[in-house]
Amino acid sequence: MPGDDIRIRDDYRGFARRHARSAYHPVGTCRTGGGEGSVVDPDLKVRGIEGPRVCDSSIMPQPISSNTNATTIMIGEKAADLKRGM
């Protein structure tokens, strides 16, 4: 942790940049939902573009407490079901 000698915001930023790490895969970068601010609708379709769906971990609302692999596979399976009309 930074010592008592760090007093200004730039020092904290520098410390965070040098030492911050994540063991998690990035998720939640593509807002999903029914609101106008969402990128993807509940059917995983990209708003404003006909055709493409987003079916990866970017639509997860928050990180999960385990590996994202199985959850991402299930998102893909759900997208396949939606595409087939199931």
Place of tokens 């998102």: 75
The question of whether 25 is a catalytic residue gets the answer yes
Catalytic residue among 11, 14, 25, 26: 25
Count of the separate structural domains present in the chain: 1
Residue 66 in any domain: the answer is yes
What is the domain extent for residue 64?
24-84
Q: Would residue 68 count as lying in a domain?
A: yes
Asked whether residue 3 is domain-assigned, the answer is: no
What does the mean pLDDT of the chain come to? 84
- Within a domain: 34: yes
Residue 15's pLDDT is 82
Question: Of 28, 75, 40, which is closest to residue 55 (Cα–Cα)?
Answer: 75
Q: Summarize the confidence of residues 3-31 as an average pLDDT.
A: 76
Q: Does residue 51 belong to any structural domain of this protein?
A: yes
15 in a structural domain:
no
Q: How far apart are alpha carbons 86 and 82 in whole angstroms?
A: 6
Residue 2 lies in a domain: no
44-58: pLDDT as tens digits: 999 999 988 999 999
What is the pLDDT at residue 12? 75
Q: Is residue 72 part of a domain?
A: yes
